[in-house]
Structure 1
Amino acid sequence: MSRLSNIFWLGTKELRSFFSDVVLLGLVIYTFSFAIYVQGHSNAQELYNGSVAYVDDDKSELSRRMMAVFLPPYFKHPVPISESDIDHLMNTAAYTFVIVIPPDFEKDVLAGRSPEVQVNVDATAMVTAGLGYGYIQQILTTEIDNFVSRNEGTYLSRSQNVQKTPITLSVRVVFNPNVMTSWFTSVMGIVNNVTMLAIILAGAAIVREREHGTMDHLLVMPVTPFEIAMSKIWANGLVIAVASALSLEIVVRQVLKIPIAGSVPLFIAGVSIYLFFATAIGIFLATIARSMPQLGLLYILVAMPMNILSGSNTPLESMPPVLSTIMMFSPSTHFVLFAQSILFRGAGFSIVWPQFLFVAFVGCLFLAIALMRFRTVAVQAG
């Protein structure tokens, strides 16, 4: 009980020290609020409000139908222009897409010929251009096929050569029906930031004691290095766990309007288990670094690859087999796996318990190594 009491009161001292550090406090607030919001929008892979103009040299029912199917939010309503204005309007970035429908287009389609529709794309807007071209091709092809099917009886003799696809592909997207990038990037941003802040806060707590000269004061007190390290782990872990829960509820659910399929308390329980591993990495790096700049450099070498290769940015299936096999031994990979299972797919504890068990086992192993290293360094310093 005496040891637990020491860990508790040292942890409260760590919390007071954290809340008095404006820089670290601001970093936590920014990381779990504005940074998540920006990450949810800045990496969007969807098309919004694409500007479309068209030149209709056919003036037919089919050409009017083709232009009527471009609707918000993907595209703005198409604007008719003359062919002589195409170059000027695209040079001034007035429109990203300009569609040119040739004369007798409807007649050629119903006659079984293969007329061409010209789509001019401003490729300086790379993401919009790439996505928009694919959308336009799919929209126009679908509308033309529907028009031919409706007029097949009237123009049977002229449409008998029209090619039809023998198979219809029905795609059903699970968990993210509209394939919204923000649904994925915002939640994965929280997952990555948990690793980042756990390492930085735990490491900074040790380095700060050394830089301020208060580590010697702690070592002459009737407390052990184990109690000092554990107090910093629970205090900083509590800050990150609370910040993660608030970020999911306020930023993700209320501000970004992103639904969370699973249990947030179950996810926070997994975060708490994972924090033993992440804070252990921070303490271990702090025993090597002599200053905050050195800790930052070590973080780049250790945590950045761990985050990038964990599956939060690139699926493990897209990595080389050797690399994906190696990353399966990292708790960060299993953290991403159970976070996606809980928050995206609504998985319960009966499904994610193997990841919880692996993270707990490796986390305790790394924590023991970090505490041994910290005890050795503390004794040498004393």
Structure 2
Amino acid sequence: MIASLVRILRLGIKELYSLRADPILVVLIVYTFTFAIYAVATGAKFEVENASVAVVDEDRSMLSARLRDALLKPFFKEPALIGADQVDTAMDAGNYVFIVEIPPKFEQDVIAGRHPEVGLDIDATAMSQAGNGASYIENILLNEVTAAMPSLAQTDPINLVVRAKFNPNLKSEWFTAVMQVINNITILSVILAGAALIREREHGTIEHLLVMPVRPVEIMLAKIWANGLVIVTAAILSLLAVVERLLGVPVVGSLTLFATAAVLYLFSVTALGILVATVSTSMAQFGLIAIPVLIVMNLLSGSTTPMESMPAWLQDVMQVSPSTHFVALSQAVLYRGAGLSIVWPQMAAFVVIGAAFFALATLRFRKALLSMQ
């Protein structure tokens, strides 16, 4: 047992030297956990920001001017004042996402209690921004009318108090930044482990391993711990430097617990990367197989859209993916400060899945080595 552990350690160190000698992979790791995290977190937003808006003001009253001035930055750009005959042309050209149409005699009708209608034309090409923006504008208009004419405000039967926990400012980058780290852990784990095996085959060093007193399982474990060490270290540094310090996203949970879970998770996804590499004959073929696998694992893991919004049968199918359980664990630990007593079922799930992947990858890897002898 001790001799086997020593061989695994030395083979893993060899993997680290091989990785250091490959500048492309080193740059990929650094880029993935630095600029890629920052760019996606600050660029891909779900809330409304700098949306283009125009106003058709056919009333030209103080109330209509107040409604127009209430569409403020950073949610909206400076509102443009256009005529009613320009609405269709402007929407067809994609010049504005929102166009507010204030009818004639709007202020008079409001004072008289006639409940005038304000039109809102929306370019729903970008559905998320369109839906959120419509709610923003509706609330802004209602609040401004109520503030301008408090005597018209009706007493609500209840007083609803909303408290947003874990992300009180409802910033999308708080969610996107952490989930991007999780997704990148999955992507790099598969790519590095698979690329390491194919690199051995293309460079001919796999033949050197065949004449050494090492077993296939030892070669696999060496690749797993070496690549896993690099990825976990990069992920923790990214959470501390990029997510927490640069983006200002608070990480409330235990990084020790997260790192422990990440190590167990890496055991399963690196085994998956080796499994994909054993059925690939070249690096190009490995990429073609790995890309659709990674897309499905990331998009349907709960890191992009909630699991509850998926069909029940698809939720059941995705339970065989370790990424689904790791995303749930990471959200619980990093966002809500959950402890081991809460997340141990997720840890157990991807350990079991990882053991199945590792066993299958070992069989495939052993068969691939025997075919080369």
* Per-residue deviation, 1:348: 1.4
Q: What is the rounded CA distance, in whole Å, between the counterparts of 1:372 and 1:87 in structure 2?
A: 65
Q: What is the rounded CA distance, in whole Å, between the counterparts of 2:360 and 2:99 in structure 1?
A: 63
- Which residue in the other structure is 2:26 paired with? 25
> Is the 8 Å Cα contact of residues 58 and 106 (structure 1) preserved in structure 2?
no
The partner residue of 2:236 within 238, 242, 245 is 245
* Per-residue deviation, 1:272: 0.5
* Per-residue deviation, 1:301: 4.2
Letter in 1 for 2:61: K
* Per-residue deviation, 1:196: 1.4
- 1:377 paired with 2:368, answer yes
Residues 113, 347 of structure 1: alpha-carbon distance in 2 compared, 3 angstrom cutoff? same
- 1:59 paired with 2:50, answer no
- Please give the TM-score of this superposition, normalised by the length of structure 2: 0.88
Residues 86, 177 of structure 1: alpha-carbon distance in 2 compared, 3 angstrom cutoff? farther
The partner residue of 1:272 within 263, 271, 277 is 263
> Between the two proteins, what is the percent identity of the paired residues?
49
> Is the 8 Å Cα contact of residues 241 and 268 (structure 1) preserved in structure 2?
yes
Letter in 2 for 1:302: V
- Please give the TM-score of this superposition, normalised by the length of structure 1: 0.86
Flag structure 2 segments of 5+ consecutive residues without an equivalent.
none
* Per-residue deviation, 1:239: 0.9
Per-residue CA deviation, residues 73-121 of structure 1 (Å, 9 max, x unaligned), is: 2134556x47489669958987655545445433321221022334455
Correspondence 1:95-110 to 2 at 5 A: 97-110=98-111
Residues 173, 83 of structure 1: alpha-carbon distance in 2 compared, 3 angstrom cutoff? same
> Is the 8 Å Cα contact of residues 98 and 122 (structure 2) preserved in structure 1?
yes
Residues 78, 355 of structure 1: alpha-carbon distance in 2 compared, 3 angstrom cutoff? same
Letter in 2 for 1:356: M
Residues 301, 119 of structure 1: alpha-carbon distance in 2 compared, 3 angstrom cutoff? closer
- 1:225 paired with 2:216, answer yes
Q: SS at 1:328's partner residue?
A: helix
- Which residue in the other structure is 1:115 paired with? 116
The partner residue of 2:321 within 330, 333, 341 is 330
- Which residue in the other structure is 1:306 paired with? 297
- 1:346 paired with 2:324, answer no
Alpha-carbon RMSD across the aligned residues, in angstroms, is: 2.8
Q: What is the rounded CA distance, in whole Å, between the counterparts of 2:244 and 2:287 in structure 1?
A: 32
Letter in 2 for 1:59: S
> Is the 8 Å Cα contact of residues 57 and 101 (structure 1) preserved in structure 2?
yes
Per-residue CA deviation, residues 39-96 of structure 1 (Å, 9 max, x unaligned), is: 2133211222335554373433x345434433332134556x4748966995898765
> Is the 8 Å Cα contact of residues 253 and 260 (structure 1) preserved in structure 2?
yes
Q: What is the rounded CA distance, in whole Å, between the counterparts of 2:98 and 2:280 in structure 1?
A: 54
> Is the 8 Å Cα contact of residues 204 and 292 (structure 1) preserved in structure 2?
yes
Q: What is the rounded CA distance, in whole Å, between the counterparts of 2:89 and 2:356 in structure 1?
A: 64
Larger Rg: 1
* Per-residue deviation, 1:324: 0.7
Letter in 1 for 2:106: F
Q: What is the rounded CA distance, in whole Å, between the counterparts of 1:251 and 1:69 in structure 2?
A: 35
Q: What is the rounded CA distance, in whole Å, between the counterparts of 1:181 and 1:300 in structure 2?
A: 26
- Which residue in the other structure is 2:70 paired with? 69
Q: How many residues are matched?
A: 370
